[in-house]
Amino acid sequence: MKAVYAGSFDPITLGHVSVIERAFKLFETIHIVVANNRAKQHLFTLEQRTDLVRRSIPEQFADRIVIAPFEGIVADYINEHQIEAVIRGIRNATDLEYELQLEQYIRHTTTAETVYLSPYTKHMQTNSSLVRMFFQSGKHELASHYMAADAYELALLYELGGH
């Protein structure tokens, strides 16, 4: 069964990675769609965010994953690739409220079912906004606690203009 896990991943965090790891217990193949939300001002470019996702995925899942940068409506990607499930991460009640609204949209535009997964407990408070704040304020070392090591090193290069 194929599933999609879509987000802006700006940047991808250990919370995202733990949702992906949990999802591999349920799905054979996971498409990670790195979406370009034009309503958001991203810290990293779409290409950079896609590279950060690649650096964050544990090696044991490499042959079961598709990483796809995508501009457009995620429902179009789901329909085009005949995806059967949509993975959504939930950390708290605020996330749930938003995700239930998104599920209604997915239900009306695709045949995919939505599956909610929470990150592992140690990553429940991890979010991309916090990591972006650390990078933007020059507190790069704090971001390292919330990202996979390889992704953090690459994000640091991007942020400091080295790539």
- CA 32 to chain centroid, in Å, comes to 7
Please give the pLDDT value at position 24: 96
39 vs 53, more confident: 53
How high does pLDDT run on average in the chain?
Answer: 92
1 vs 160, higher pLDDT: 1
Residue 99 backbone dihedrals phi, psi, to 5 degrees:
-65, -35
Strand order, beta sheet including 113-117? 65-70, 29-35, 2-7, 85-89, 113-117
- Measured N-to-C along each axis, helices 149-159 and 46-56 cross at an angle, to the nearest 10 degrees, of 160
Lowest mean pLDDT among 46-60, 90-104, 143-157: 90-104
How many structural domains compose the chain? Answer: 1
Residue 118 · residue 89 · CB < 8 Å? yes
Which amino acids are annotated as binding site for substrate, given as ranges? 8, 40, 74, 88
Mind listing the pLDDT tens digit for each residue in 97-139? Answer: 888 988 999 999 999 999 999 988 888 788 899 999 999 999 9
Cα torsion at 101, 27, 78, 113 (round to 10°)?
-40
Query: What is the distance between the alpha carbons of residues 111 and 77, in angstroms, rounded to a whole number?
Result: 12
> Residue 102 maps to which CATH number?
3.40.50.620
What per-residue confidence (pLDDT) applies to 77? 97
Query: Binding-site residues, please?
Result: 8-9, 16, 40, 74, 88-91, 99, 123-129
- Position 152 scores a pLDDT of 93
Q: What is the pTM of this model?
A: 0.91
Percent of the chain whose predicted confidence (pLDDT) is above 70: 99
Compute the residue count for the chain. Answer: 163
pLDDT for 23 equals 97
Instruction: Please give the annotated binding residues for ATP, written as ranges.
Output: 8-9, 16, 89-91, 99, 123-129
41 pLDDT band (50/70/90 cuts)? Answer: confident
Of the chain, the percentage scoring pLDDT greater than 90 comes to: 75
Res 162 pLDDT > 80: no
Distance separating alpha carbons of residues 37 and 125, to the nearest angstrom:
23
Distance of CA 63 to the CA centre of its chain: 18
Structural domain of 54: 2-159
